[in-house]
Amino acid sequence: MHPVSIASRSRLRSSVPYMAGLCLVLLLAACVQNPVTGKNDFLLVSEDWELQVGAQQYAPLRQQQGGDYITDTKVVNYVRSVGNKLAAASDRDLPYEFNVINDSTPNAWALPGGKISINRGLLVELNSEAELAAVLGHEIVHAAAKHGARGQSRSVGLQAGVVTATLLASNQGYNAQVAQMASAVGAQLINSQYGQGAELESDLFGMEYMSRAGYDPQGAVELQQTFVRLSQGGRSSTLERLFASHPPSQRRVDENRATAARLPKGGFTGEREYRSAMATLFNTREAYEAADQARVALQQGDTRKANSLVQTAMRIEPRESLFHSLAGDIAMSQNNLNAAKQSFTKAISLNGNYFYNYVQRGSINESQRNNDAARADYARSVSLLPTATAQLGLGKYAEGRGDTQVARRFYSMAAQADNTVGQQARQALVRVQPDSNSSSDNALMVTQGLTRNGNFAIQIVNQTSQKIGNIKLGVTVDNGRQQTLGVKQQLLPGEKRLIETGQKLTTSQANRVKVVVLGADVVRR
Ligand SMILES: [Zn+2]
């Protein structure tokens, strides 16, 4: 019905000189058939870009939003089994993945490349496997039909450089840099609205996938009714983020009703199956509500109330790592560091894959001068999700052992934060700046990658505390002749700049480009 056909695009050979400004290559906007709708799209999004964005941003985004729900693995296994059935019925073969995020906001999202998440808070609003299939089918269409790429503004696209690990793969802190950059980009991707056209398209084809996978498409009608009901509900705190990327509407209810009428009647509903698979979530719902209220109370400075609520939450669901983490935050706010550390350790024992507990325990260890433990906690947290706090801490330890190059790298990453931690990092950068005679290679961190359009881009970070100008880069392809690229702009201390070359490349071509710093000057006034 909707054949998978991704028109092949002509690709540039690696012998073509890459740099814009040195040569102009006219790119014809390829007319590509959309794999889902079969319509022609004027999109210059490479599949490489989609896959890289999905693969690189999926994990940090889940971290940013509360980490995965793992307390009852039956929940995520069930979500995956339903998701995989729909993926198999979809129009596009992608490396689909499904996870449950430990957050009470009723939401779900898809990244390019088929990386899909559904929040715990949405699962407890659904009534049947068919409704879950409606959510996942809808998200699968967003990914398969490239809605994420289509919805992006040009400015977002510029930032969405996917950095490939060719130049600095062996350097400490590099992956952290990628993840930090990637998660900011990913947040923009999943929080931007796709537009009503894309929503209706996702509903329509999602219902088609449901029907193909044997589900009753009526589930999508009921789901939309639930969405409309939720959006009219009085829960103002979650309303803002509620379906940020998928605004519900009566029109969607009506359209889904019409679509269901066109599709074969009947199919699997799975109400009993759903109740059984989600039993833990339904049974512990009050615990999460108490914990959410405890978080609010803590923010308002009412630690007594926060403490009593989190105790309630832990009584109902003692296995939930987040509750112990919250207890740790409450203890920290009371300056009870030993109790806080115990809570974070307990939280880590229940879920060892959430960055936050490591950052918090790391900062306690740092203040208690348990340096090795602090460093290990910070390093683990940065591998999950880079934060300025952990990077500043790691920078200090590197500086302490005399490794100024690594220290500079961590400081310059932390320096990008717009808060007191960033300020401390900028001050620290002054201490570890290279003397003016040394090679400018150390002063600039250069990475390379593809933007959403598959254009080759180079990113430079000024790792010094001084303004840098007159930057000259050398670009070599497959050990061929080196071309020189002058960067017009000056870079402020800690500043990061993405230079788009306008050259369209595949990932493997991009990986064969070598970029080095030929020279740069400190700008003195
Ligand atoms: Zn949507």
Q: Alpha-carbon distance 381 to 466, whole Å? A: 29
- Token pair 């490239």: residue: 146
What pLDDT is attached to residue 31?
A: 52
How many domains is the chain built from?
Answer: 1
Domain range for 123 is 69-152+196-232+246-277
Among 62-66, 365-369, 498-502, which range has the highest average pLDDT?
365-369
Q: What is the whole-number distance in angstroms between the Cα of residue 142 and the centre of ligand 1?
A: 7
Per the model's pLDDT, the better-predicted residue between 498 and 133 turns out to be 133
Q: What is the whole-number distance in angstroms between the Cα of residue 290 and the centre of ligand 1?
A: 29
Q: What is the whole-number distance in angstroms between the Cα of residue 286 and the centre of ligand 1?
A: 28
Token couple for 194? 């796709």
Over residues 179-194, the pLDDT tens digits come to 444 445 555 566 566 7
**What is the CA angle 269-274-276, rounded to 5?**
135
What pLDDT is attached to residue 287?
A: 98
Q: What is the whole-number distance in angstroms between the Cα of residue 220 and the centre of ligand 1?
A: 12
pTM: 0.76
Please list, residue by residue across 135-149, b when 16 or more beta carbons sit within 10 angstroms of its beta carbon and e when fewer do: bbbbbbbbbbbbbbb
Q: What is the whole-number distance in angstroms between the Cα of residue 457 and the centre of ligand 1?
A: 30
What pLDDT is attached to residue 41?
A: 59
Give domain status of residue 204, yes or no: yes
Q: Alpha-carbon distance 456 to 315, whole Å? A: 54
Q: Are 92 and 4 in contact (CB under 8 A)?
A: yes
For residue 131, pLDDT over 60 is answered with yes
Q: What is the whole-number distance in angstroms between the Cα of residue 172 and the centre of ligand 1?
A: 38
Q: What is the whole-number distance in angstroms between the Cα of residue 144 and the centre of ligand 1?
A: 12
Q: How many CA atoms lie within 13 A of 14 on its CB side?
A: 16
Q: Are 469 and 490 in contact (CB under 8 A)?
A: yes
Q: What is the whole-number distance in angstroms between the Cα of residue 109 and the centre of ligand 1?
A: 8
Identify the band that residue 205 occupies on the pLDDT scale cut at 50, 70 and 90. very high
For residue 419, pLDDT over 90 is answered with no
Give domain status of residue 163, yes or no: no
For residue 159, pLDDT over 60 is answered with no
DSSP tag of 385: S
3-state secondary structure of 444: strand
Q: What is the whole-number distance in angstroms between the Cα of residue 282 and the centre of ligand 1?
A: 25
Query: Which of 188, 150, 193 shows the shortest CA–CA distance to 44?
Result: 150
User: Torsion angle, CA of 182/188/189/192, rounded to 10 degrees?
Assistant: 180
Q: What is the mean pLDDT of residues 195-208?
A: 88
Q: What is the whole-number distance in angstroms between the Cα of residue 368 and the centre of ligand 1?
A: 47
Q: What is the whole-number distance in angstroms between the Cα of residue 249 and the centre of ligand 1?
A: 12
Helix (H) or strand (E) holding 215: none
Q: What is the whole-number distance in angstroms between the Cα of residue 454 and the centre of ligand 1?
A: 25
Among 149-153, 307-311, 422-426, 456-460, which range has the highest average pLDDT?
307-311
Q: Are 523 and 466 in contact (CB under 8 A)?
A: yes
Give domain status of residue 30, yes or no: no
Token couple for 213? 């996978």
Q: What percent of the chain lies above the pLDDT cut of 90?
A: 44
For residue 20, pLDDT over 60 is answered with no
Give domain status of residue 110, yes or no: yes
Identify the band that residue 52 occupies on the pLDDT scale cut at 50, 70 and 90. confident
Over residues 494-513, the pLDDT tens digits come to 777 878 777 777 777 777 77
Identify the band that residue 259 occupies on the pLDDT scale cut at 50, 70 and 90. very high
Q: Alpha-carbon distance 291 to 307, whole Å? A: 9
Q: What is the whole-number distance in angstroms between the Cα of residue 5 and the centre of ligand 1?
A: 23
Query: Which of 267, 215, 202, 203 shows the shortest CA–CA distance to 82?
Result: 215
Among 71-85, 256-270, 463-477, which range has the highest average pLDDT?
71-85
Over residues 291-308, the pLDDT tens digits come to 999 999 999 999 999 999
For residue 358, pLDDT over 70 is answered with yes
Give domain status of residue 128, yes or no: yes
Share the mean pLDDT of the chain.
79
For residue 90, pLDDT over 80 is answered with yes
Over residues 329-346, the pLDDT tens digits come to 999 999 999 999 999 999
Give domain status of residue 341, yes or no: no
**CA distance from start to end of the chain:** 67
For residue 236, pLDDT over 50 is answered with no
Q: What is the whole-number distance in angstroms between the Cα of residue 2 and the centre of ligand 1?
A: 20
Query: Which of 279, 213, 277, 225 shows the shortest CA–CA distance to 249?
Result: 225
Over residues 370-412, the pLDDT tens digits come to 999 999 999 999 999 888 899 999 999 999 999 988 898 888 8
Give domain status of residue 516, yes or no: no
For residue 195, pLDDT over 90 is answered with no
Q: What is the mean pLDDT of residues 128-134?
A: 97
Strands 468-477 and 455-462: unpaired
Per the model's pLDDT, the better-predicted residue between 17 and 136 turns out to be 136
Q: What is the whole-number distance in angstroms between the Cα of residue 136 and the centre of ligand 1?
A: 10
Q: What is the mean pLDDT of residues 260-269?
A: 93
Q: What is the whole-number distance in angstroms between the Cα of residue 246 and the centre of ligand 1?
A: 4
What pLDDT is attached to residue 174?
A: 34
Identify the band that residue 40 occupies on the pLDDT scale cut at 50, 70 and 90. low
- Strands in 513-522's sheet, in edge-to-edge order, are 483-487, 468-477, 513-522
Q: What is the mean pLDDT of residues 55-83?
A: 93
Q: What is the whole-number distance in angstroms between the Cα of residue 196 and the centre of ligand 1?
A: 9
For residue 238, pLDDT over 60 is answered with no
Give domain status of residue 117, yes or no: yes
Q: What is the whole-number distance in angstroms between the Cα of residue 201 and the centre of ligand 1?
A: 9
